[in-house]
Amino acid sequence: MTRFSANLGFLWADLPLPQAIRAAHAAGYDAVECHWPYDTPAAEVRAALADTGLEMLGLNTLRGAPGENGLAAIPGREAEARAEIDRAIDYARAIGCGAVHVMSGIASGPGAEAALRGNLAHAAAQAPELTFLIEPLNHHDAPGYFLNTSDQAARLIEAFAIPNLRMMFDCYHLQIMEGDITRRLRRHLPMIGHVQFASVPDRGAPDRGELDYRHVCAVLADLGWDRPVGAEYRPGVQGPGLGWAAALAP
């Protein structure tokens, strides 16, 4: 049976983060994840996690200035990127979170790849106990973003040879960019550190749209995936609860 993580960047986003954690627990989620928790004291988040027994699966590095979407692949901004990586590491350690998504930013070319490699090597050296994630984003929601496809991310993970580097496999983004989701899951499984989903194309709850998540969840089960899948969707009128989950059961 598939387990689910509530992405609190989208779900219960109107609540303070500790309250959102408690709301996710009350709704029946198995874990939580977030985007940028840094305005909330880590002690408050850790207390909410302890109270609910939920694990915080991951958080993001900050994106930079308004209009930016990360810093790690931008040549010449390594000092800023590494400062944000260090901030994310410190916060993750303080709340017992096991993964940090390092946001690449809007960039292209060999210089961007070299910057990303150096910044990820810095991250791995600073926190070998954490998993660092890179995520391909689609060009409609994140135009110009350095990472676009699962094949590109897989090539970089192989080339960088950083032992605690994995791919964030977001089915929503990758269905828009590539499709062929279940074959890509099978091909890239050893490199995948986290899976997320939402309906395509509206990024709503995953019980509708052009991608059959009942099939995707069955394939994940067949592959032996036993970690929660991240529900990173816009709740809309359906709300942030798990009312959609029954439609995904085998």
Which of 185, 189, 213 shows the shortest CA–CA distance to 199? 213
pLDDT, position 34: 98
84 CA to centre of own chain = 17
Domain that holds residue 15: 4-248
- Per the CB < 8 A criterion, the answer to whether 136 and 147 are in contact is yes
Question: Residue 135 catalytic?
Answer: yes
pTM for the whole thing?
Answer: 0.97
| Domain count for the chain | 1
Q: Which listed residue (44, 129, 135, 178) is catalytic?
A: 135
Residue 245 has pLDDT above 80, yes or no: yes
pLDDT, position 237: 78
For 35-50, what is each residue's pLDDT tens digit? 999 999 999 999 999 9
pLDDT, position 250: 74
- Per the CB < 8 A criterion, the answer to whether 156 and 133 are in contact is no
Residue 66 has pLDDT above 90, yes or no: no
Question: Residue 232 catalytic?
Answer: yes
Query: What is the rounded average pLDDT of the residues 116-129?
Result: 98
For 221-239, what is each residue's pLDDT tens digit? 999 999 999 999 999 878 9
For residue 76, give the CATH number of its domain: 3.20.20.150
Q: Which listed residue (33, 55, 113, 232) is catalytic?
A: 232
For 98-117, what is each residue's pLDDT tens digit? 999 999 999 999 999 999 99
